[in-house]
Amino acid sequence: MGFQVTDRTRRAAPARSWLWRGALPASIVGALLAGTAAAAPAPREELVIHAGAVIAIPGERTLGPTTIVVRDHRIAEVRAGYVDFPDVPTIDLKDRTVLPGLIDMHVHFSFAPETRLWSAAIDTPEDVALFAFSNAKKTLEAGFTTVRDVGSDGYSIHALRDAVNDGTVTGPRIFLSGTSLSIVGGHGDMSGLNRKTTEALFPYDYTGACTGAVECALRVREAAKYGADLIKITSTGGIMSQQARGLGQHLSDEELVSIVTTAHGLGLKVAAHAHGAAGVTASVRAGVDSIEHGTWLDAETAQAMAKRGTWLVPTLGLLDARKESDASPAVQAKMAEARRVAGQNIRLAVQHKVNIAFGTDAGVSPHGQNARQFRLMVEHGPMTPMAALRSATVDAAALLDQSADLGTIEVGKFADLVAVAGDPSRDITVMERVATVIKDGRIIIHDRR
């Protein structure tokens, strides 16, 4: 990829090639850019969309017939009625509802439900990168133009993110954490294999395991150094990991505070995987930005989250899972326990007005079926269809700190759009059949039935 700085406008947030990580003195970067700017200007890329209805800002009034003009990958005009631009490619979505591109705040592109425990012993990082690319493609074609990848070992997802941002491959824009930080033997640290194999495949200083405030701060700084967009921690045990350490608090209060302080100092948000109430509460107290899952959220913690502005990313996949399949006894026991209270987290969050961002845990659930979560949010929140849509657009963009570029159909934002047949504010399940996907003003799929 080297010195590809030819088309700056294609570069999606977060634009981060190695050039921008401070690897070169500013004067050299400036010279490179000046050289690029002197080349012949690329012709403008334009696209006109005639939309029958537009949910431009989910939660606000739906617009009737509208013309959306895209120039150089961003929304240039939003005009009432159908305006013709004879020389510009135009797509007819007059029988569709157009919405902002969707955002999933909790995916894992490096694995899928069929991934086995021992895959790390077989697959190379190159295998993982290509597998992640195929999962990213399914996700984008389902209408999710932006994701947060919150936990994938190694640097395959970093490579994928950069390749998408460079325009080398087509995929959703990715914000990533890399490896999750956890306690030794916790969720995120490899377990379930014998010690020799574990140490060979996952040397201690390569995993996200840390002990004590100093080492946990070091892990945060390493993640930042090697290109993380956020920090993901596992404050409690996990349901799907091969450890039976329970779902209570794992990282200590001291470790949590160290992680949050260090991350925030570096401008990175902290997403905390937390199931048990004690771990959820400790994470909120330490100042994390989002609670992922929050399975055993209680009323008191929900109130604290609302007060502090801590987000909940309630992954409701368990409500949708059909069987416990071939999980080990330890995992099956945790799944049964979690299933007993499934849905309680989102009910409490709605009741106490906690900020909710859409996230599915795709990877644990199949990639490309992300939109099934809308129906679950409406049924179990209960959330209105508009509130559920907001959580995957306006609100997710806010948690990403990307409201200037993403989350609504407004002039100046990236031209990320999806179109569906029908009115999702009446029937949210139409989101499961997205017909057209446009990302950065480019048509990804069109008129799929």
Q: Which residues bind Zn ion (CB under 5 A)?
A: 361
Say how many C-beta atoms besides its own lie within 10 A of residue 16's C-beta: 16
- The amino acid at residue 399 is L
Nearest approach in angstroms of CB 315 to Zn ion is: 7
Cβ-count burial of 185 within 10 angstroms (0-12 exposed, 13-18 middle, 19+ buried)? middle
Q: Which residue has the tokens 């700190």?
A: 401
Say how many C-beta atoms besides its own lie within 10 A of residue 298's C-beta: 15
Closer to Zn ion by CB, 162 or 361: give it: 361
Closer to Zn ion by CB, 45 or 361: give it: 361
Nearest approach in angstroms of CB 106 to Zn ion is: 6
* Helix/strand/coil for 98: strand
Contact call for residues 183 and 251 (beta carbons, < 8 A): yes
Closer to Zn ion by CB, 111 or 155: give it: 111
End-to-end, the C-alpha distance of the chain in Å comes to: 36
What number of residues does the chain have? 449
Nearest approach in angstroms of CB 73 to Zn ion is: 30
Nearest approach in angstroms of CB 104 to Zn ion is: 11
Nearest residue to 9 via CA among 57, 47, 44, 49:
44
Closer to Zn ion by CB, 156 or 436: give it: 156
Concatenated DSSP letters for 205-251? Answer: GGSSB--HHHHHHHHHHHHHHTT-SEEEEE-B--SSSS--S-SSB-S
Concatenated DSSP letters for 252-305? Answer: -HHHHHHHHHHHHHTT-EEEEEE-SHHHHHHHHHHT-SEEEE-TT--HHHHHHH
Closer to Zn ion by CB, 149 or 405: give it: 149
Closer to Zn ion by CB, 107 or 428: give it: 107
**Alpha-carbon span 325 to 245, nearest angstrom:** 21
Report strand pairing: 66-71 vs 74-80: antiparallel
Nearest approach in angstroms of CB 385 to Zn ion is: 25
Nearest approach in angstroms of CB 363 to Zn ion is: 7
Nearest approach in angstroms of CB 149 to Zn ion is: 10
Closer to Zn ion by CB, 271 or 330: give it: 271
Nearest approach in angstroms of CB 202 to Zn ion is: 18
Cβ-count burial of 121 within 10 angstroms (0-12 exposed, 13-18 middle, 19+ buried)? exposed
Closer to Zn ion by CB, 165 or 315: give it: 315
Contact call for residues 209 and 158 (beta carbons, < 8 A): no
- The amino acid at residue 14 is P
Closer to Zn ion by CB, 37 or 341: give it: 341
Nearest residue to 368 via CA among 83, 102, 136:
136
- The amino acid at residue 255 is E
Closer to Zn ion by CB, 238 or 343: give it: 238
**Alpha-carbon span 415 to 430, nearest angstrom:** 21
Q: Name the residue with the smallest CB distance to Zn ion.
A: 361
